[in-house]
Amino acid sequence: MVSPSPLVRSHLRTQSLLLQSERVVSEVVRRLNLLGNQEWQNAFRESKAASNIMQWAVEQLLENMTARINEGSNIMDIRYIAFDPRIAALMANTFMAAFIDANLDMKIESAQRSVQWYDTQLAKLRRDFNDARERMLTFQRDAGILGSDSDSDQAQIRLLAEQLTRMRSELVAAEVQLQQMSHSIESVGDASLQSQTLSRMQGELSTVQSELARLGTEVGPRHPRYAALIQSQSTLQEKIREETKAIRRSFAAKVETLRNQVRQLETTHVGQSQHMIDQQEQRDQLVKLSREVDFRQAQLDSAANRAEALRMQGQISFVNVVPLDQAAPPTKPVFPRKRVILPLAAGFGLALGVVLALLIEIFDRRIRTPADLEYATGLHSIGRLMAGKTRRKRWFLGMGALSGAVRLSHEPRR
């Protein structure tokens, strides 16, 4: 058998005390209308009790009612002693019904009191939550911060850093190409730097130079054709120089644009970083305010859920106390029990008889043997005279002074 836990035992003791409480017993008195019963009124007047009749009735019921918890279980027996078996059963059943109703009423009352307390706390928690949220919103408006999360700013700074790195690489490459262009436009490896016009003029110049080389072997320098080609070569070379200068100026402008973009990105990156650093303290403060709002919200939600659970508990109509059996009028009296009382009475009577016989023997001792006579007289017997046979009844011998025997005694000779 597994014994109940200390918590269960404590609960059972509490239930036993509740059953014997004035609340339950008074309810039994009201349900049975004992105060209006003439027999109970007469008994109260005869008792001459100093208390009122309700208190007296409660005391009378408690004297005859017992509640016993069965060992090793969570079952409680309710017993009531009365002269009438029907009254005993009625009292026990009424006690059980009043006890169950008292359990339910106490549970509902406790839940309702808790709900009232939680309603008061909910109003305070709502005020605290609204105040915390208002402080956070006011701080956001004053600081110009939309949220406490700095990931967006960090992502923007990373993007600016990547753009700045790329632009710096382009600027370095452009500056190297610009230096190369100062020597010769053909030395620049990037074909995009050579315009179509320059390429066409360079092609024409190559054609003219080839023609000059061919005519130089055939005619002299004063030949009109040769002189015309010399003039064309000079014109093309001048145009190429002008086009090269234009390309260099354009590329230099591109390099300067890249420098400006790099400087602008650097300024933006530094400003954004400084802005993030400046707002970090404000963000930390916003985080604290946001956490306070979350904490107040959690408190409010928890209290609201608990209040709703208690409100539902206050509306229930059952308890965890279930009657196992209804009391029926008993067929055998609880007192007296003959099987127990008769052996006890016989043993007590026998013991009382022995005690009384011993007391009589002590205070009114009789002479029944020669030793008793010697003890009573302090003399030694010198003989014994035996009585003859008689037809008297033996019960009559006890009435004689000698009881059927004569004992002689004498003083000892000197």
- The pLDDT value given to residue 394: 45
Q: What is the mean pLDDT of the chain?
A: 76
Could you tell me the CA-to-CA distances from 337 to 64, 65, 340, 345, 348 in Å, in that order? 18, 19, 5, 12, 16
Which tens digits make up the pLDDT trace of 164-200? Answer: 888 888 878 877 877 776 655 444 444 445 567 777 8
Q: Which two tokens stand for residue 79?
A: 């017993």
78 and 180 within one domain: no
Count of C-beta atoms within a 10 Å radius of residue 311 = 15
In a domain, 130, yes or no: no
Q: Provide the terminal-to-terminal Cα distance of the chain, rounded to the nearest Å.
A: 86
163 and 116 within one domain: no
In a domain, 344, yes or no: no
Interatomic CA distance for residues 92 and 86, integer angstroms: 10
Which tens digits make up the pLDDT trace of 205-233? Answer: 888 788 777 777 777 677 787 778 788 88
277 and 223 within one domain: yes
295 and 183 within one domain: yes
Which tens digits make up the pLDDT trace of 304-336? Answer: 888 888 777 666 655 667 777 777 787 776 666
Q: Which two tokens stand for residue 196?
A: 């179509």
Cβ contact 412:380 at 8 Å: yes
In a domain, 335, yes or no: no
303/381: higher pLDDT: 303
Cβ contact 334:81 at 8 Å: yes
Output the pTM of the full model: 0.45
157 and 219 within one domain: yes
How many domains does the structure of the chain reveal? 3
In a domain, 115, yes or no: yes
In a domain, 16, yes or no: yes
99 and 189 within one domain: no
Q: Which residue range(s) make up the domain with 67?
A: 6-125
Query: Is 60 exceeded by the pLDDT of residue 409?
Result: no
